């Protein structure tokens, strides 16, 4: 099906990630939640479907924002991009409610949700897209202390200063 196929191109990951972080930071400001962003100066190129990766980062960051009670001061989402030899890792961490131990193993199951209005498809789609890219996703969470999601993707090289496609 169309949903399981990738339209790959070579993209600098920041060209996919930056606009998503900007949009989520704006949403965070409305909710009184700080969104912090740290990334490497020299960018990594990934053979990726830019649109689908944008969906991955959007879903993960929306979940992070929604995990924080906007009435509680000090809410924060931190997004970091790391480069490790032939991998690029995007880490999204929040200081929200965390994921209950009994729910952690169900996170990637279709239709599983803990949200009153959620469809339960977001994280199953995220996992499928990351898998199709040959990547890994790891979730570390503690109830009441927050969640950290690490998405690691194969990198095909370092970008030249002016290189990079537009997703």
- If pLDDT is split at 50, 70 and 90, which confidence band does 10 have? confident
pTM of this structure: 0.86
Domain annotation covers residue 163: no
**Most confident stretch, 76-85, 107-116, 133-142, 153-162:** 133-142
Domain annotation covers residue 19: yes
Domain annotation covers residue 45: yes
Tokens coding 118: 């959620």
Domain annotation covers residue 62: yes
Q: What does the pLDDT read at residue 1?
A: 38
Per the structure, the complete domain to which residue 93 belongs is given by 2-158
- If pLDDT is split at 50, 70 and 90, which confidence band does 82 have? confident
Q: How far apart are CA 112 and CA 108, in angstroms?
A: 8
Residue 18 near residue 58, CB atoms below 8 Å: no
Strands of the sheet containing 157-158, edge to edge, are 9-12, 44-48, 157-158
Domain annotation covers residue 70: yes
Using a 10 angstrom Cβ sphere, with 0-12 exposed, 13-18 middle and 19 or more buried, the burial of residue 38 is exposed
pLDDT beyond 60 at 160: no
Q: What does the pLDDT read at residue 12?
A: 86
117 vs 3, higher pLDDT? 117
pLDDT beyond 80 at 3: no
Domain annotation covers residue 164: no
- If pLDDT is split at 50, 70 and 90, which confidence band does 41 have? low
Using a 10 angstrom Cβ sphere, with 0-12 exposed, 13-18 middle and 19 or more buried, the burial of residue 19 is middle
Mean pLDDT of the chain: 86
In the block, which residue shows the tokens 């479907």?
Answer: 49
Number of structural domains the chain divides into: 1
CATH of the domain at 10: 3.30.565.10
Residue 97 falls in which region: left (phi positive, over 0), alpha (psi -120 to 50) or beta: alpha
Mean pLDDT of 127-156: 93
Domain annotation covers residue 24: yes
Domain annotation covers residue 139: yes
114 vs 80, higher pLDDT? 80
């Amino acid at each position: 099906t169309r949903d399981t196929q990738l339209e790959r191109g070579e993209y600098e990951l920041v060209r996919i990630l930056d606009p998503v972080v900007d949009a989520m930071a704006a949403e965070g400001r409305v909710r009184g939640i700080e969104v912090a962003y740290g990334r490497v100066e020299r960018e990594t190129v990934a053979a990726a479907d830019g649109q689908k990766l944008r969906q991955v980062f959007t879903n993960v960051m929306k979940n992070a924002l929604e995990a924080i009670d906007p009435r509680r001061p000090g809410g924060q989402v931190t997004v970091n991009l790391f480069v490790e030899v032939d991998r690029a890792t995007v880490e999204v961490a929040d200081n929200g409610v965390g994921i209950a131990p009994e729910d952690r193993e169900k996170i990637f199951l279709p239709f599983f949700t803990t949200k009153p209005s959620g469809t339960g498809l977001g994280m199953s789609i995220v996992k499928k897209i990351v898998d199709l890219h040959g990547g890994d996703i790891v979730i570390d969470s503690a109830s009441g202390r927050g969640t950290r999601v690490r998405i690691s993707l194969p990198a095909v090289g370092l970008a030249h200063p002016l290189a990079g496609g537009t997703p």
